[in-house]
Amino acid sequence: MNRYDLHTHTKCSDGSLSVTQLIDLAIDRGVTHLAITDHDTVNAHIQLAQMNGGYKEDQINIIKGIEISSQWNNMGIHIVGLNIDIDSVAIKNVVAHQTQLRLQRVKTIAKKLTHRGFPDITEGAMRLAGDSQIGRPHIAQYMVEQGMVSSVAQAFTKYLGTGKVGDVSSIWPDLEQVVKWINEAGGVAVLAHPSRYKMTRTKGRRLMADFCDAGGQAIEVCAGNQVPGVAEAMATICNEFNFHASVGSDFHNPDYKWVRLGQYPKLPKTCIPVWELF
Ligand code: AMP
Ligand code: MN
Ligand code: MN
Ligand code: MN
Protein backbone atom coordinates (compact mmCIF):
# COMPACT_ATOMS: atom_id res chain seq x y z
CA MET A 1 0.00 0.00 0.00
CA ASN A 2 1.29 3.41 -0.93
CA ARG A 3 1.40 6.03 1.77
CA TYR A 4 2.07 9.64 0.81
CA ASP A 5 3.32 12.60 2.83
CA LEU A 6 3.78 15.55 0.50
CA HIS A 7 4.61 18.35 2.96
CA THR A 8 7.56 17.99 5.37
CA HIS A 9 10.50 19.99 6.74
CA THR A 10 14.12 19.35 7.69
CA LYS A 11 16.87 21.28 9.44
CA CYS A 12 17.53 22.98 6.10
CA SER A 13 14.67 25.30 7.09
CA ASP A 14 12.77 25.23 10.40
CA GLY A 15 12.52 21.46 10.96
CA SER A 16 14.54 19.66 13.62
CA LEU A 17 15.69 16.53 11.75
CA SER A 18 18.45 16.14 9.21
CA VAL A 19 17.37 14.90 5.79
CA THR A 20 18.53 11.33 6.52
CA GLN A 21 16.81 11.33 9.94
CA LEU A 22 13.57 12.47 8.25
CA ILE A 23 13.83 9.72 5.62
CA ASP A 24 14.57 7.08 8.29
CA LEU A 25 11.53 8.18 10.29
CA ALA A 26 9.35 8.19 7.15
CA ILE A 27 10.40 4.61 6.32
CA ASP A 28 9.67 3.68 9.93
CA ARG A 29 6.16 5.14 9.63
CA GLY A 30 5.46 3.26 6.40
CA VAL A 31 5.61 6.30 4.14
CA THR A 32 6.33 5.18 0.57
CA HIS A 33 6.30 8.62 -1.11
CA LEU A 34 7.82 11.55 0.74
CA ALA A 35 8.03 15.13 -0.51
CA ILE A 36 10.58 17.25 1.33
CA THR A 37 9.29 20.82 1.12
CA ASP A 38 11.49 23.15 3.13
CA HIS A 39 10.73 26.86 3.31
CA ASP A 40 12.35 28.63 0.35
CA THR A 41 15.27 26.22 -0.01
CA VAL A 42 16.05 22.95 -1.79
CA ASN A 43 19.23 22.22 0.19
CA ALA A 44 17.83 18.91 1.48
CA HIS A 45 17.55 17.72 -2.14
CA ILE A 46 21.00 19.04 -2.99
CA GLN A 47 22.40 17.08 -0.02
CA LEU A 48 20.63 13.91 -1.22
CA ALA A 49 21.98 14.33 -4.74
CA GLN A 50 25.49 14.55 -3.28
CA MET A 51 25.07 11.23 -1.43
CA ASN A 52 25.90 9.18 -4.50
CA GLY A 53 22.55 10.03 -5.97
CA GLY A 54 20.34 9.40 -2.97
CA TYR A 55 19.66 7.75 0.37
CA LYS A 56 17.74 4.46 0.83
CA GLU A 57 16.16 4.93 -2.60
CA ASP A 58 15.19 1.26 -2.71
CA GLN A 59 12.93 1.81 0.32
CA ILE A 60 11.20 5.12 -0.35
CA ASN A 61 10.38 7.51 -3.20
CA ILE A 62 11.57 11.05 -2.57
CA ILE A 63 9.67 13.81 -4.35
CA LYS A 64 11.51 17.08 -4.85
CA GLY A 65 9.58 19.95 -3.32
CA ILE A 66 9.70 23.39 -1.76
CA GLU A 67 7.32 25.60 0.25
CA ILE A 68 7.49 29.18 -1.00
CA SER A 69 6.24 32.21 0.94
CA SER A 70 4.07 34.54 -1.14
CA GLN A 71 1.65 37.36 -0.51
CA TRP A 72 -1.91 37.84 -1.58
CA ASN A 73 -3.96 40.85 -0.44
CA ASN A 74 -1.27 41.67 2.13
CA MET A 75 -1.51 38.21 3.65
CA GLY A 76 1.29 35.67 3.77
CA ILE A 77 0.25 32.59 1.76
CA HIS A 78 2.37 29.42 1.45
CA ILE A 79 2.59 27.64 -1.90
CA VAL A 80 4.11 24.18 -2.08
CA GLY A 81 5.84 23.22 -5.31
CA LEU A 82 5.93 19.47 -5.97
CA ASN A 83 8.00 17.50 -8.46
CA ILE A 84 10.13 20.51 -9.27
CA ASP A 85 13.40 20.56 -11.18
CA ILE A 86 15.82 21.80 -8.51
CA ASP A 87 18.41 22.65 -11.17
CA SER A 88 16.05 24.92 -13.10
CA VAL A 89 16.78 28.62 -13.47
CA ALA A 90 13.39 29.38 -11.88
CA ILE A 91 14.21 27.49 -8.67
CA LYS A 92 17.74 28.87 -8.47
CA ASN A 93 16.31 32.39 -8.86
CA VAL A 94 13.47 31.98 -6.38
CA VAL A 95 15.74 30.50 -3.71
CA ALA A 96 18.28 33.33 -4.11
CA HIS A 97 15.49 35.91 -4.04
CA GLN A 98 13.75 34.48 -0.97
CA THR A 99 17.03 34.02 0.93
CA GLN A 100 17.74 37.74 0.53
CA LEU A 101 14.19 38.64 1.54
CA ARG A 102 14.38 36.41 4.63
CA LEU A 103 17.60 38.06 5.81
CA GLN A 104 16.13 41.48 5.20
CA ARG A 105 12.93 40.50 7.01
CA VAL A 106 14.79 39.35 10.12
CA LYS A 107 16.41 42.79 10.29
CA THR A 108 13.03 44.50 9.85
CA ILE A 109 11.45 42.37 12.57
CA ALA A 110 14.48 42.89 14.83
CA LYS A 111 14.17 46.65 14.49
CA LYS A 112 10.51 46.53 15.48
CA LEU A 113 11.31 44.29 18.45
CA THR A 114 14.16 46.57 19.58
CA HIS A 115 11.51 49.24 20.09
CA ARG A 116 9.71 46.79 22.37
CA GLY A 117 12.84 46.36 24.45
CA PHE A 118 14.23 43.18 22.86
CA PRO A 119 17.80 43.73 21.60
CA ASP A 120 20.16 41.71 19.35
CA ILE A 121 17.44 39.68 17.62
CA THR A 122 19.24 39.59 14.25
CA GLU A 123 22.51 38.22 15.64
CA GLY A 124 20.71 35.73 17.91
CA ALA A 125 18.37 34.38 15.24
CA MET A 126 21.22 34.11 12.71
CA ARG A 127 23.33 32.17 15.21
CA LEU A 128 20.49 29.71 15.88
CA ALA A 129 19.66 29.36 12.18
CA GLY A 130 23.27 28.55 11.23
CA ASP A 131 23.15 27.17 7.67
CA SER A 132 19.36 26.81 7.71
CA GLN A 133 17.01 29.07 5.78
CA ILE A 134 16.20 31.64 8.48
CA GLY A 135 12.64 32.21 9.66
CA ARG A 136 10.45 33.39 12.51
CA PRO A 137 10.94 30.12 14.43
CA HIS A 138 14.63 31.04 14.85
CA ILE A 139 13.63 34.43 16.25
CA ALA A 140 11.16 32.68 18.56
CA GLN A 141 13.86 30.24 19.75
CA TYR A 142 16.21 33.13 20.49
CA MET A 143 13.51 34.94 22.48
CA VAL A 144 12.95 31.78 24.54
CA GLU A 145 16.69 31.34 25.06
CA GLN A 146 16.98 34.92 26.34
CA GLY A 147 13.95 34.64 28.62
CA MET A 148 12.07 37.29 26.59
CA VAL A 149 9.13 34.87 26.32
CA SER A 150 8.36 31.56 28.01
CA SER A 151 7.83 29.44 24.87
CA VAL A 152 7.99 29.47 21.07
CA ALA A 153 4.18 29.43 21.06
CA GLN A 154 4.12 32.55 23.23
CA ALA A 155 6.62 34.31 20.94
CA PHE A 156 4.17 33.74 18.08
CA THR A 157 1.02 34.72 19.98
CA LYS A 158 2.53 37.91 21.37
CA TYR A 159 5.02 39.11 18.75
CA LEU A 160 5.45 37.05 15.58
CA GLY A 161 2.09 35.57 14.60
CA THR A 162 -0.52 36.90 12.15
CA GLY A 163 -1.32 40.55 12.77
CA LYS A 164 1.41 41.00 15.38
CA VAL A 165 4.37 43.39 15.20
CA GLY A 166 6.71 40.77 13.72
CA ASP A 167 4.31 39.61 11.02
CA VAL A 168 5.95 41.17 7.96
CA SER A 169 4.35 39.50 4.95
CA SER A 170 4.26 42.47 2.57
CA ILE A 171 7.80 41.74 1.38
CA TRP A 172 7.01 38.43 -0.30
CA PRO A 173 6.49 38.08 -4.06
CA ASP A 174 2.90 37.96 -5.28
CA LEU A 175 1.15 34.60 -5.24
CA GLU A 176 0.78 34.77 -9.02
CA GLN A 177 4.56 35.16 -9.48
CA VAL A 178 5.29 32.26 -7.13
CA VAL A 179 2.91 29.93 -8.98
CA LYS A 180 4.59 30.98 -12.24
CA TRP A 181 8.06 30.13 -10.90
CA ILE A 182 6.87 26.68 -9.77
CA ASN A 183 5.33 25.99 -13.16
CA GLU A 184 8.49 27.17 -14.92
CA ALA A 185 10.42 24.66 -12.78
CA GLY A 186 8.13 21.93 -14.15
CA GLY A 187 6.37 21.53 -10.81
CA VAL A 188 2.80 21.42 -9.57
CA ALA A 189 1.75 24.41 -7.45
CA VAL A 190 -0.23 23.41 -4.34
CA LEU A 191 -1.98 25.83 -1.98
CA ALA A 192 -0.65 24.80 1.44
CA HIS A 193 -2.86 24.25 4.52
CA PRO A 194 -5.83 26.35 3.21
CA SER A 195 -7.81 26.06 6.44
CA ARG A 196 -5.06 27.73 8.45
CA TYR A 197 -5.62 31.15 6.92
CA LYS A 198 -8.03 33.16 8.98
CA MET A 199 -10.32 34.64 6.35
CA THR A 200 -14.00 34.90 5.56
CA ARG A 201 -15.64 32.39 3.21
CA THR A 202 -15.90 35.02 0.48
CA LYS A 203 -12.24 35.96 0.74
CA GLY A 204 -11.26 32.29 0.82
CA ARG A 205 -13.12 31.72 -2.43
CA ARG A 206 -11.38 34.70 -4.02
CA LEU A 207 -8.05 33.23 -2.97
CA MET A 208 -8.98 29.91 -4.60
CA ALA A 209 -10.13 31.65 -7.79
CA ASP A 210 -6.96 33.77 -8.04
CA PHE A 211 -4.77 30.72 -7.32
CA CYS A 212 -6.56 28.80 -10.07
CA ASP A 213 -6.22 31.69 -12.56
CA ALA A 214 -2.51 31.95 -11.74
CA GLY A 215 -1.99 28.31 -12.76
CA GLY A 216 -2.32 26.59 -9.38
CA GLN A 217 -3.32 22.95 -9.89
CA ALA A 218 -3.88 21.52 -6.40
CA ILE A 219 -4.77 22.34 -2.82
CA GLU A 220 -3.91 20.50 0.39
CA VAL A 221 -7.14 18.75 1.22
CA CYS A 222 -5.63 16.80 4.09
CA ALA A 223 -3.08 18.40 6.41
CA GLY A 224 -1.64 17.42 9.76
CA ASN A 225 -3.54 18.50 12.89
CA GLN A 226 -6.62 19.39 10.81
CA VAL A 227 -10.05 19.58 12.44
CA PRO A 228 -12.82 17.21 11.27
CA GLY A 229 -14.90 18.44 8.35
CA VAL A 230 -12.17 20.47 6.69
CA ALA A 231 -11.17 17.71 4.24
CA GLU A 232 -14.78 17.43 3.03
CA ALA A 233 -15.06 21.21 2.62
CA MET A 234 -11.79 21.25 0.66
CA ALA A 235 -12.99 18.34 -1.49
CA THR A 236 -15.99 20.47 -2.52
CA ILE A 237 -13.64 23.28 -3.51
CA CYS A 238 -11.53 20.82 -5.56
CA ASN A 239 -14.62 19.78 -7.40
CA GLU A 240 -15.63 23.35 -8.13
CA PHE A 241 -12.22 24.61 -9.35
CA ASN A 242 -10.97 21.33 -10.85
CA PHE A 243 -8.10 21.20 -8.38
CA HIS A 244 -6.22 18.01 -7.65
CA ALA A 245 -5.89 17.09 -3.98
CA SER A 246 -2.66 16.95 -2.00
CA VAL A 247 -1.99 15.40 1.40
CA GLY A 248 0.77 16.26 3.83
CA SER A 249 1.47 16.39 7.53
CA ASP A 250 3.59 19.60 7.53
CA PHE A 251 5.90 17.70 9.87
CA HIS A 252 8.63 19.79 11.54
CA ASN A 253 9.73 18.08 14.74
CA PRO A 254 9.06 14.72 16.45
CA ASP A 255 8.58 16.59 19.76
CA TYR A 256 5.50 18.33 18.34
CA LYS A 257 3.09 15.57 19.32
CA TRP A 258 0.12 17.12 17.50
CA VAL A 259 1.69 16.38 14.10
CA ARG A 260 2.97 12.91 13.20
CA LEU A 261 4.93 12.25 10.05
CA GLY A 262 2.70 10.51 7.49
CA GLN A 263 -0.52 11.30 9.36
CA TYR A 264 -3.50 13.37 8.25
CA PRO A 265 -7.26 12.81 7.81
CA LYS A 266 -8.52 10.41 5.16
CA LEU A 267 -8.69 11.77 1.61
CA PRO A 268 -12.37 12.02 0.52
CA LYS A 269 -13.26 9.58 -2.28
CA THR A 270 -14.30 12.29 -4.77
CA CYS A 271 -10.77 13.77 -4.81
CA ILE A 272 -8.27 13.21 -7.62
CA PRO A 273 -4.85 12.85 -5.98
CA VAL A 274 -2.14 15.28 -6.98
CA TRP A 275 0.35 12.46 -7.65
CA GLU A 276 -1.59 11.63 -10.83
CA LEU A 277 0.09 14.76 -12.22
CA PHE A 278 3.65 13.59 -11.47
P1 AMP B 1 8.36 31.97 8.43
O2 AMP B 1 8.65 30.88 7.45
O3 AMP B 1 9.57 32.66 8.91
O4 AMP B 1 7.30 32.94 7.96
O5 AMP B 1 7.75 31.25 9.71
C6 AMP B 1 6.61 30.45 9.59
C7 AMP B 1 6.80 29.16 10.32
O8 AMP B 1 6.70 29.39 11.71
C9 AMP B 1 5.74 28.12 10.01
O10 AMP B 1 6.11 27.36 8.92
C11 AMP B 1 5.74 27.29 11.27
O12 AMP B 1 6.74 26.31 11.20
C13 AMP B 1 6.12 28.28 12.36
N14 AMP B 1 4.93 28.77 13.11
C15 AMP B 1 3.93 29.53 12.64
N16 AMP B 1 3.04 29.83 13.62
C17 AMP B 1 3.50 29.23 14.73
C18 AMP B 1 3.04 29.14 16.09
N19 AMP B 1 1.92 29.77 16.48
N20 AMP B 1 3.78 28.43 16.97
C21 AMP B 1 4.91 27.83 16.57
N22 AMP B 1 5.40 27.87 15.33
C23 AMP B 1 4.71 28.55 14.41
MN1 MN C 1 7.69 25.96 9.19
MN1 MN D 1 3.30 26.66 5.75
MN1 MN E 1 5.25 23.72 5.97
CATH architecture of 100-160: Orthogonal Bundle (1.10)
pLDDT of residue 44: 98
Yes or no: say if 112 and 210 are a contact pair by the CB < 8 Å rule. no
Which ligand 1 atom minimizes the distance to the CA of 14?
A: 12
pLDDT of residue 74: 92
DSSP-assigned letter for residue 116? T
14 CB under 6 A from ligand 1? Answer: yes
pLDDT of residue 165: 95
Among residues 42, 166, 161, 19, the alpha carbon closest in space to that of 92 is found at 42
Asked if residue 53 has pLDDT above 90, the reply is no
* pTM (global) more than 0.85: yes
Asked if residue 56 has pLDDT above 90, the reply is yes
pLDDT of residue 269: 98
DSSP-assigned letter for residue 60? -
pLDDT of residue 42: 98
Q: 69-126 pLDDT, tens per residue?
A: 999 999 999 999 999 999 999 999 999 999 999 999 999 999 999 999 999 999 999 9
Which ligand gives the minimal distance to the CA of 8?
Answer: 4
Please give the C-alpha separations between residue 107 and each of 25, 104, 122, 123, in angstroms, as whole numbers. Answer: 35, 5, 6, 9
**Distance between Cα 117 and ligand 4 center (Å):** 30
Residues 258, 262, 266, CA angle at the centre, nearest 5°? 90
pLDDT of residue 54: 85
Q: 182-209 pLDDT, tens per residue?
A: 999 999 999 999 999 989 999 999 999 9
* Whole-number Å distance between alpha carbons of 211 and 207: 6
15 CB under 6 A from ligand 1? Answer: no
Name which residue sits closest to atom 8 of ligand 1, judged by CA. 137
Domain extent listing, the chain: 4-95+174-277, 100-160
Yes or no: say if 109 and 160 are a contact pair by the CB < 8 Å rule. yes
pLDDT of residue 57: 96
DSSP H helices in the chain: 19-28, 43-50, 89-114, 121-129, 136-145, 152-155, 175-184, 201-214, 230-241
Of the CATH numbers 3.20.20.140, 3.30.70.141, 3.40.50.150, 1.10.3720.10, which one belongs to the domain with range 4-95+174-277? Answer: 3.20.20.140
Q: What percent of the chain is modeled with pLDDT above 90?
A: 98
Confidence of residue 169 (pLDDT cuts 50, 70, 90): confident
